[in-house]
Amino acid sequence: MISNHLLFKLASGEVFGPDQPVALKLLGSERSFQALEGVAMELEDSLFPLLREVSIGIDPYEVFQDVEWALLIGAKPRGPGMERADLLDLNGQIFVEQGKALNAVASHNVKVIVVGNPCNTNALICLKNAPNIPAKNFHALTRLDENRAKCQLALKAGVFYDKVSNVTIWGNHSTTQVPDFLNARINSLPVKEVIKDHKWLEEEFTELIQKRGGLLIKKWGRSSAASTAMSIADAIKSLVTPTPEGDWFSSAVYTNGNPYGIAEDLVFSMPCRSKGDGDYELVKDIQFDDYLRKRIKKSEAELLAEKRCVAHLTGQGIAVCD
Ligand code: LMR
């Protein structure tokens, strides 16, 4: 469902720009192959001027050949009442295979965005199985959380969401994620100067964002699809267009060398800026207070535990799940 929304945006030129031809290679499974054929037919029938090729397959070693962007969306989605940790082992294996295939046949500078949950740890599994691709090129999607945070801050402040900037989501795409209202701005002012109800920020706002994915699953009976697709498009656009002066975007990326003291060898959401060349750098001038540090530590602890639980998939020993 996410791909159904996303593919038409990619084909239209909305994501990579109006001058960039696109070749779409769709990876499915035996079970989904007919549906994949249907999507490919619809893409062809849409006569997108920039769409030069649509190919489909079920073997990642064929489909990933020379790809420059890999959007790893497919995984077993979380159902009602399930926590992301339940998906660790179920989905981890998919990302071992896809990491190995990317390593073998993709462009060596491929940019990888992992969406299937638990996406941070799946991205870590993927990058560990793709040693020829720079670890820096792997992202797990937290842009949806950033968009959710921007929307809720705008609603509370009574402004349009384009007035909200500098929103960081720290950590795991899970209920421990930290939507950072200390560094975020509304109309260029610190959020705390605009929204005086700090209790709302610390308690309601934070929980609203942390639990929004789960709430949506309860309402729909399935996980978010259209808004996820929108946020994948946003995540790519943020990497292929220069970040506006003074602003940044969130992406969960490899922590080695990070300036915030976050444990190394994790995929952790942090503030990034890009020159628009597909690459990014971490933002340096970030303020921390006790509240933010404590929350970040909690998300770090969760990701360290997830990492121990998939050690057999990352080549880091025997899995120990708490
Ligand atoms: C979301 O945030 O909506 C999705 O990642 C679904 C989920 O499992 O939370």
pLDDT for the residue 13: 97
Total count of domains within the chain:
2
Q: Is pLDDT above 90 for 81?
A: no
Is residue 173 annotated as a catalytic residue, yes or no? Answer: yes
| Domain residue limits at 274 | 143-308
Could you give the 3-state DSSP secondary structure of residue 175?
Answer: coil
| Alpha carbons within 13 A on the beta-carbon side of 254 | 19
Q: How far is residue 193's CA from residue 68's CA, in Å, rounded to a whole number?
A: 43
For 307, the enclosing helix (H) or strand (E) is helix 290-309
Instruction: Enter the tokens of residue 192.
Output: 């705390």
Domain end position, chosen among 90, 111, 140: 140
Q: Per residue in 160-177, is it b (16+ CB within 10 Å) or e — as a string? A: ebebbbbbbbbbbbbbbb
Residue 285 domain-assigned (yes or no)? yes
Query: Rounded to the nearest whole angstrom, what is the distance from the C-alpha of residue 132 to the centroid of ligand 1?
Result: 30
Domain with 246 in it: what CATH number? 3.90.110.10
For residues 100 and 130, state if they share a domain.
Answer: yes
Based on the fold, state whether residues 107 and 236 are members of the same structural domain: no
Q: Are residues 129 and 201 in the same domain?
A: no
Residues 44-50, mean pLDDT to the nearest whole number: 97
Starting at the edge strand that comes first in sequence, how are the strands of the sheet with 164-165 ordered? 164-165, 185-186, 189-190
Dump pLDDT digits (tens) for 230-272: 999 999 999 999 999 999 999 999 999 999 999 999 999 999 9
pLDDT in tens, 172-193: 999 999 999 999 999 999 999 9
ipTM for this model? 0.91
User: Whole-angstrom Cα distance, residue 222 to residue 9?
Assistant: 22
Check whether residue 122 and residue 152 sit in a common domain: no
Rg of the chain (C-alpha set): 19
> Would residue 315 count as lying in a domain?
no
Q: Given this model, what pLDDT does residue 321 score?
A: 84
Q: Is 44 part of any domain?
A: yes
Longest distance between any two alpha carbons in the chain, whole Å: 55
Q: Is residue 316 part of a domain?
A: no
Is residue 7 one of the residues assigned to a domain?
Answer: yes
Region of 317 (left: φ > 0; alpha: ψ -120 to 50; beta: rest) is left
The reply to whether ligand 1 has any atom less than 6 angstroms from the CB of 171 is no
The reply to whether 319 falls in a domain is: no
Q: Other CB atoms closer than 10 Å to residue 268's CB: what's the count?
A: 26
pLDDT at residue 272, rounded to an integer:
98
Cα–Cα distance measured from residue 5 to residue 293, given in angstroms and rounded to the nearest whole number: 36
Q: Once rounded to an integer, what is the mean pLDDT over residues 56-60? A: 97
Tokens matching residue 159: 């402004």
Q: Cβ(78) to ligand 1 under 6 A?
A: yes
Is residue 245 a part of any domain in this protein? Answer: yes
Q: Which of 140, 170, 198 lies at the terminal end of a domain, its last residue?
A: 140
| Nearest residue by C-alpha to atom 8 in ligand 1 | 78
Tell me the CA–centroid distance for residue 303 and ligand 1, in Å: 16
233 and 270 belong to one structural domain: yes
Segment 184-204 mean pLDDT: 97
Q: Are strands 164-165 and 168-170 parallel, antiparallel or unpaired?
A: unpaired
**157 & 301 share domain:** yes
Residue 8 burial class via C-beta count within 10 angstroms: exposed 0-12, middle 13-18, buried 19 and up:
middle
Residue 278 has pLDDT above 70, yes or no: yes
Which of 322, 321, 313, 307 is closest to 263 using CA atoms? 307
Do 92 and 171 share a domain, yes or no?
A: no
Residue 188 lies in a domain: yes
228 with 241, same domain: the answer is yes
Give the domain CATH number at 67: 3.40.50.720
User: Which ligand 1 atom is nearest residue 216's CA?
Assistant: 3
Confidence of residue 123 (pLDDT cuts 50, 70, 90): very high
23 and 132 in a single domain? The answer is yes
Whether residue 117 has its Cβ less than 6 Å from ligand 1: yes
- Judge if 128 and 255 occupy the same domain: no
Q: Does one domain contain both 130 and 167?
A: no
Among 85, 115, 140, the domain-final residue is 140
Residues 230 and 177 in one domain: yes
Q: What is the DSSP letter of 136?
A: G
Q: Is 116 in the pocket of ligand 1 (CB under 6 A)?
A: no
Query: For residue 85, what pLDDT is reported?
Result: 65
